[in-house]
Amino acid sequence: MTTEVKTEAKAGQAKPMQDRVVIFDTTLRDGEQSPGATMTHDEKLEIAGLLDEMGVDIIEAGFPIASEGDFAAVAEISKRAVNSTICGLARANFKDIDRCWEAVKHARSPRIHTFIGTSPLHRAIPNLDMDQMAERIHDTVTHARNLCDNVQWSPMDATRTEHDYLCRVVEIAIKAGATTINIPDTVGYTAPRESSRLIQMLLERVPGADTIIFATHCHNDLGMATANALAAVEAGARQIECTINGLGERAGNTALEEVVMAMKVRNDILPYRTGIDTTKIMNLSRRVASVSGFPVQFNKAIVGKNAFLHESGIHQDGVLKNVETFEIMRPEDIGLTQKNIAMGKHSGRAALRAKLKELGFELADNQLNDVFVRFKALADRKKEVYDDDLIALVADEATMDAHDTLQLKRLRVVCGTDGPQEAEMVLTIEGTDHFIDATGDGPVDAAFTCVKMLFPHRARLQLYQVHAVTEGTDAQATVSVRLEEDGRIVTGQSADTDTVVASVKAYINALNRLIVRRQKTAPGEDVKTVTYHGQ
Ligand code: KIV
Ligand code: ZN
């Protein structure tokens, strides 16, 4: 088995890589592809900037052929990246690869990632036999390598591809110049022992396997993505593909924070290094949750709200005597500050700026002014303003734009046990105020009906989710609303101490996003409609 010393797979730059695992983040490509997780251009730039700062080795910034928006985001991220290699995804055809190169070529360190489905099920879709597919792989990897020194190739659905054929095509890709070979478990089908044996088999059987880096790319359909990725590393893979919060289609991808912290906390049995500054994890997790509209489940490993909470008496007692009794890592290691009372209504602008900085937000003066006004209003309504309240407030501020088509001006609801509930609303549409009232099955339903009557649309409500930010009846609620119209899926979010107000603002935020998407793409032209098997 050839697991000893791998080299940084970049032509002419051999660097010892023993025990160093490369972190390849695909939040902006595989994560963003998750229905409803679409991010705006500015949000993608912000997340890429944070990943770059955190020490992610490679950022897969998007799928440039998929849309003008994806292309523009990958190109801009490439221009801005300071430390990370910037990678774009391309299917196995020259047009995709050329477009990908056009976007990533601006990067200090660019990478082209090209792929084709190699399992029997995936081979059947483009209707290529084994030989034709092998030829396609040779031609496309050669083409990519003629453009860029750093080429990654993936046999999609590798874990369900016949071993002999997998060895054959991996060898072809290496000979054609691929510098990283990624082994995707596309449908989250494998298990740890099989995952490690597959890498071991490739290292043993494929000529030239010791000259490239093997990557592992796992999906979490059976809840084994983290275990499968680490098992692949133990067998010799030296790149893990992952996303923040495990964001991704279906059950998601391997979570960056899980593999990185596993290697840090259990370095005795997983003796691998990464370049990640783990104290930046929490901030990135919050930002990704906020911009994607996918909240983190409370009991999620590492970044869940409960991950460091000790409520049972036995646990609390143990933790008070010695934190190591029940805590295997320190909250500070992932950038989690103490959950003390953050601020009161007498706190000034400078104190707010300092507190936000501690929480990972550096705001421009005008943004700080807006947040300060809202903080004062919140402090008037709520007895104690906690860190989580401030985080929700900053996230909410980021969802609003003075240029939004729809803005909520006034809302009043009447509730009672002897319904129906009523809502009265003033909605500003393109600068003009419109008034309406409506009844509904509950206050949220009545208020949503007002929005629909004032701004008729065909979008279907796919998800409506409410979370309390902190404890207490005066807690702020964060609300996520996901809408679908003609295949376009958008998520809106908002926070307020009034759950109905937060709900309406989240609904309006989703509609504003939909309006922008309608302007950018005709129906059927959206990112999500570009299939992986199109040529
Ligand atoms: O899951 C997968 O197979 C992918 C490929 C495009 C690498 O995301
Ligand atoms: Zn994937």
Do 345 and 249 lie in one domain? The reply is no
Q: State the pLDDT at residue 98.
A: 98
| CA 485 to ligand 1 center in whole angstroms | 26
| CA 251 to ligand 1 center in whole angstroms | 14
- Name the residue of 156, 182, 185 to mutate for ligand 1: max ligand atoms within 8 A of Cβ: 156
Do 392 and 412 lie in one domain? The reply is no
Atom of ligand 1 nearest to the CA of 30: 8
Cβ-based neighbours of 143, under 8 Å, separated by 6 or more:
94, 97
Closest CA to 274 of 54, 108, 109: 54
Q: State the pLDDT at residue 159.
A: 98
Q: What is the pLDDT along the chain (535 residues), one digit of tens a residue?
A: 333 334 444 444 444 445 899 999 999 999 998 887 888 899 999 999 999 999 999 999 999 999 999 999 999 999 999 999 999 999 999 999 999 999 999 999 999 999 999 999 999 988 899 999 999 999 999 999 999 999 999 999 999 999 999 999 999 999 999 999 999 999 999 999 999 999 999 999 999 999 999 999 999 999 999 999 999 999 999 999 999 999 999 999 999 999 999 999 999 999 999 999 999 999 999 999 988 888 899 899 999 988 887 655 556 566 666 767 677 899 999 998 765 556 777 888 888 888 888 777 888 888 888 889 988 888 887 777 888 788 888 877 777 777 899 999 999 999 888 878 999 999 999 999 999 999 999 999 999 999 999 999 999 998 898 988 877 788 888 898 989 999 888 888 898 999 999 999 999 999 998 998 887 665 544 444 467 765 5
Do 358 and 258 lie in one domain? The reply is no
Residue 24, domain extent? 18-292
CA 69 to CA 50: how far, in whole Å? 20
- Name the residue of 26, 89, 112, 115 to mutate for ligand 1: max ligand atoms within 8 A of Cβ: 115
- CA of 161, nearest ligand number: 1
> Does residue 227 lie in a domain region?
yes
Q: State the pLDDT at residue 5.
A: 39
Give nearest CA residue, ligand 1 atom 1: 186
- CA of 152, nearest ligand number: 1
Do 373 and 427 lie in one domain? The reply is no
CA 303 to chain centre: 13
Q: State the pLDDT at residue 14.
A: 44
Q: State the pLDDT at residue 96.
A: 98
Atom of ligand 1 nearest to the CA of 187: 1
Atom of ligand 1 nearest to the CA of 26: 8
CA 384 to CA 509: how far, in whole Å? 27
- Name the residue of 114, 125, 152, 154 to mutate for ligand 1: max ligand atoms within 8 A of Cβ: 154
Atom of ligand 1 nearest to the CA of 532: 6
| CA 364 to ligand 2 center in whole angstroms | 36
Q: State the pLDDT at residue 3.
A: 38
CA 419 to CA 437: how far, in whole Å? 15
> Does residue 297 lie in a domain region?
no
Pocket of ligand 1 (CB under 6 A): 30, 115, 154, 156, 182, 184, 186, 217, 219
Atom of ligand 1 nearest to the CA of 158: 3
- CA of 154, nearest ligand number: 1
- DSSP per-residue letters across 185-250: ETTS---HHHHHHHHHHHHHHSTTGGGSEEEEEEB-TTS-HHHHHHHHHHHT--EEEEBGGG--ST
**Side chain identity, residue 263:** M
Do 388 and 412 lie in one domain? The reply is no
| CA 70 to ligand 2 center in whole angstroms | 17
Do 388 and 516 lie in one domain? The reply is no
> Does residue 1 lie in a domain region?
no
Structure tokens at 477: 């609620």
- DSSP per-residue letters across 452-500: HHHS---PEEEEEEEEESSSSTT--EEEEEEEEETTEEEEEEEEESSHH
> Does residue 476 lie in a domain region?
yes
Atom of ligand 1 nearest to the CA of 253: 1
- Name the residue of 24, 30, 114 to mutate for ligand 1: max ligand atoms within 8 A of Cβ: 30
Do 360 and 422 lie in one domain? The reply is no
Q: State the pLDDT at residue 320.
A: 64
Question: Residue 430 sits in a domain of what CATH number?
Answer: 3.30.160.270
> Does residue 504 lie in a domain region?
yes
| CA 95 to ligand 1 center in whole angstroms | 19
Do 280 and 186 lie in one domain? The reply is yes
Q: What is the pLDDT of residues 451-497, one digit of tens each?
A: 999 999 999 998 898 988 877 788 888 898 989 999 888 888 898 99
Do 392 and 437 lie in one domain? The reply is no
| CA 192 to ligand 1 center in whole angstroms | 18
Domain limit, last residue, from 380, 398, 416 = 398
Question: Residue 102 sits in a domain of what CATH number?
Answer: 3.20.20.70
Domain limit, last residue, from 263, 292, 321 = 292
Q: What is the pLDDT of residues 214-269, one digit of tens each?
A: 999 999 999 999 999 999 999 999 999 999 999 999 999 999 999 999 999 999 99
Is-cis flag, bond preceding 420, omega within 30?
yes
Domain limit, last residue, from 292, 327, 354 = 292
> Does residue 326 lie in a domain region?
no
Do 461 and 428 lie in one domain? The reply is yes
Under 8 Å between Cβ of 46 and 287: yes
Atom of ligand 1 nearest to the CA of 89: 6
| CA 106 to ligand 2 center in whole angstroms | 25
| CA 154 to ligand 1 center in whole angstroms | 7
> Does residue 22 lie in a domain region?
yes
| CA 217 to ligand 1 center in whole angstroms | 7
Give the chain's domain count: 3
- CA of 157, nearest ligand number: 1
| CA 418 to ligand 2 center in whole angstroms | 51
Under 8 Å between Cβ of 464 and 504: no
Do 490 and 345 lie in one domain? The reply is no
Place of tokens 């959206």: 526
Give nearest CA residue, ligand 1 atom 5: 156
Atom of ligand 1 nearest to the CA of 219: 1
Q: State the pLDDT at residue 313.
A: 57
> Does residue 300 lie in a domain region?
no
| CA 414 to ligand 2 center in whole angstroms | 47
Do 355 and 430 lie in one domain? The reply is no
